[in-house]
Each structure stands twice: as structure tokens, then as C-alpha cells.
């Protein structure tokens, strides 16, 4: 019953916000608001359904966070970037990925740690953070000539396949090792697989529709305000498509599911670069805005490098570290609009 009540409230919120915006003559803003809300609803259904399906195959919570949850919450970035690429807004797609990766670590990880200090597994610092850093450096290499061509995009896209296979194999090995030391699990009755598949598909449809509305509205707002598309991608679109990651990580922190919270953030950053840029570049070669290469790509790299000391200190992310990350994001957003 709570499920349907939550959905009803969300639908009413969509109608109210869009109605107010249209009444004020801001159709573009209404599209952005409706798009973001559809992204949130769609991601919730996609992540819940896919995560439960994944667990039936014996995948550990951290790997679920790195793959299913991360890929599900990053689906808005993929849908929005591909939509922007098809519309000829390649700079918006690149800005969206860079901005989302910065927001994932500074804003989302920061707010999550501010809510509750986040424990971190030693394997995260030893294995997964270096992967995030390596993938980020790889993205910057593709930015150097100012264009992400189809060959570079194909290399990035193939990387996400290798990353997923590696994590699934590693995750199943961890589960097998844990099962040897634990008693027989209690059998629980849950939703049928068919319902979980349907729920996941509905989430995907909502994500695509939400991304379409968001990009249309954001692009129109950018033109009306005279703001370059890359700036809108780095801020408004990046934040809007990062809302699912934010909601998922905060909920995971509240439920003390730190593995899912951290895995969601790190996995999303890898997915954004390898899959979002890769698939978008295969659709159409992406122009890299000069400003992104001069400033924002390096901010993305510095933020990724910062994960080593932050996640490695005392094997936890403290509230102070979370506050510093959050303040860093606020300063970054102010800078990209002022400078």
C-alpha cells in the first residue's frame, strides 16, 4: 500500500509543479521539473527490480552497488546524453558526464557521509578506486584532440563489458567464500521474477521519457538565458540526472548499507565514462568543449584522486570529510557560473 501511496504523491507533485510552471509561462521549466521527477521514479523502479533479480543470482551487495544499482541510477545520464547527441548537442553530453562524476563524489558522497559516517571496505581502496582513477585518466586522453571519435567510443564501450564481467566473477567468488562460513540462509518469499522484470522495464521507459523532457527543457532554458550548453550540462542536467544516485546513496546510508552506497557512486562514475560517453560517441562523434578540457576535466580527475586518501583514512568517510566534499561542490558550481 505504501508503494502506491508514494507513487500517487509523486504523480501529484509532477502535476502541481508542472502546472505552476506553465501558469507562470515557463513551459521549459515545467519540462525540466517533470523530466527530473520521471527520472527519479524510473530509477527507483529500475534499481529495485534489477537489484532483487541480481541478488537471486548470488551477487554480493557491494557488487550489486557497483553494477546493477550504479548502472540503473546512471541510466538517466545515458538516456540524456544519447538524446543530446542525437539532437546535435554533443557538448551537453560531455558536460553531463563530467558534471555528474564531480557531483557523484563531491555532492552525493559528501551528503551521504554528512548524514552518517560511511564505513569502507579495504578492497574498495585497493581495487575499485584505482579503476575509477584509471578510467578518468582514459577519458581525459580521449578529450585531448577535442573530439571523441567512434574508435575511441568503441574502446570506451568495450571497457564497460570487461568491467562488468570482472566484477561479477569477483563478486561471485566473494559470495562463495562467505557462504562457506555462514549457516544455511533463511528462505524468503518475495515478488515473482516476472513482476521484477516488468517493474524494471517500466523504470527504463520512465527514464527515457524523463531524459527526453529534461534535455529539451534544459536546452531551451540555456538558449533563453544565454548560457552555453556545456555549462547547463555541467550543472543543471548533471544534477538532475544525478538525483537517482543521491536518493539511492542516502537511502542506503540510512539503512546502514554502506557497501551499496559507496559501490553506487564509484560504479556510476565508471559507467558514465565507459558506457555513456562510449555509446553516445558511437551514435555520433562528440565535440569536447574547450572549457571542459581547460578546467572541468581536471576537476573530475582531482576529485577521483581525492578518493584515495578520503576512502583510505581509517577505512571510513567521516562527517568532516563529507562536509569538505560538499563545500567543494558548492564552490565548483559557483565558479562555473561566475567565471
Q: Which domains does the chain have, with CATH numbers?
A: 61-182+227-338 (1.20.1420.30)
> E strands along 116-155, which residues?
118-119, 147-148
Three cell numbers written together for 117: 559516517
- Eight-class DSSP state of 185: P
Which among 225, 268, 31 is positioned nearest to 131, based on CA atoms? 268
In sequence order, which ranges of 255-296 are alpha helices (DSSP H)? 258-271, 278-283, 290-291
> Element (H or E) spanning 275, and its range?
none
Burial class (CB in 10 A: 0-12, 13-18, 19+), 212: middle
Which among 205, 167, 144, 154 is positioned nearest to 57, based on CA atoms? 167
CA gap 272, 242 in Å, rounded:
11
Torsion sign, CA atoms 54, 59, 63, 65: positive
Q: Position of cell 578518468?
A: 136
From first to last of the 339 residues of the chain, give the pLDDT tens digit: 444 444 454 555 555 555 544 544 457 777 877 887 887 787 777 777 777 776 676 666 677 777 777 787 787 778 878 888 888 888 888 988 998 899 999 999 999 999 888 888 766 677 888 999 999 999 999 999 999 999 999 999 999 999 888 887 776 666 555 555 555 544 444 567 788 778 878 877 887 788 778 777 877 877 777 777 667 766 667 776 777 777 778 777 777 777 777 888 898 899 999 999 999 999 999 999 888 888 999 999 999 999 888 887 767 888 999 999 999 999 998 888 776
What is the CA 30 to chain-centroid distance, rounded? Answer: 23
Q: Are 249 and 110 in contact (CB under 8 A)?
A: no
Amino acid at each position: 500500500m505504501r508503494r502506491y501511496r508514494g507513487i500517487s504523491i509523486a504523480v501529484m507533485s509532477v502535476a502541481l509543479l508542472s502546472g505552476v510552471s506553465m501558469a507562470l509561462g515557463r513551459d521549459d521549466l515545467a519540462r525540466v521539473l517533470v523530466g527530473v521527477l520521471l527520472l527519479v521514479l524510473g530509477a527507483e523502479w529500475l534499481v529495485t527490480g534489477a537489484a532483487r533479480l541480481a541478488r537471486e543470482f548470488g551477487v554480493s551487495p557491494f557488487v550489486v552497488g557497483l553494477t546493477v544499482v550504479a548502472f540503473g541510477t546512471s541510466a538517466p545520464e545515458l538516456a540524456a546524453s544519447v538524446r543530446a547527441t542525437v539532437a546535435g548537442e554533443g557538448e551537453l553530453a560531455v558536460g553531463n558526464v563530467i558534471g555528474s562524476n564531480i557531483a557523484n563524489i563531491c555532492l552525493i558522497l559528501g551528503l551521504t557521509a554528512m548524514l552518517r559516517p560511511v564505513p569502507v571496505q579495504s578492497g574498495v581502496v585497493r581495487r575499485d578506486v584505482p579503476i575509477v582513477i584509471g578510467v578518468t585518466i582514459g577519458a581525459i586522453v580521449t578529450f585531448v584532440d577535442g573530439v571523441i571519435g567512434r574508435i575511441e567510443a568503441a574502446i570506451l564501450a568495450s571497457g564497460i563489458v570487461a568491467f562488468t564481467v570482472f566484477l561479477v566473477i569477483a563478486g561471485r567468488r566473494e559470495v562463495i567464500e562467505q557462504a562457506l562460513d555462514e549457516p544455511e540462509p533463511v528462505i524468503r518469499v518475495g515478488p515473482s521474477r516476472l513482476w521484477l522484470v516488468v517493474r524494471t522495464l517500466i523504470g527504463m521507459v520512465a527514464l527515457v521519457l524523463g531524459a527526453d523532457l529534461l534535455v529539451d527543457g534544459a536546452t531551451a532554458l540555456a538558449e533563453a538565458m544565454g548560457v552555453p550548453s556545456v555549462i547547463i550540462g555541467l550543472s543543471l542536467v548533471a544534477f538532475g540526472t544525478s538525483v537517482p544516485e543521491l536518493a539511492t546513496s542516502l537511502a542506503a546510508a540510512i539503512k546502514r548499507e554502506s557497501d551499496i552506497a559507496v559501490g553506487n557512486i564509484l560504479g556510476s562514475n565508471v559507467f558514465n565514462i565507459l558506457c555513456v560517453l562510449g555509446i553516445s560517441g558511437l551514435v555520433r562523434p562528440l565535440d569536447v568543449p574547450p572549457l571542459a578540457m581547460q578546467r572541468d576535466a581536471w576537476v573530475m580527475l582531482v576529485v577521483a584522486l581525492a578518493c584515495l586518501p578520503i576512502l583510505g583514512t581509517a577505512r571510513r568517510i567521516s562527517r568532516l570529510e563529507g562536509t569538505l566534499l560538499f563545500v567543494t561542490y558548492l564552490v565548483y558550481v559557483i565558479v562555473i557560473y561566475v567565471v
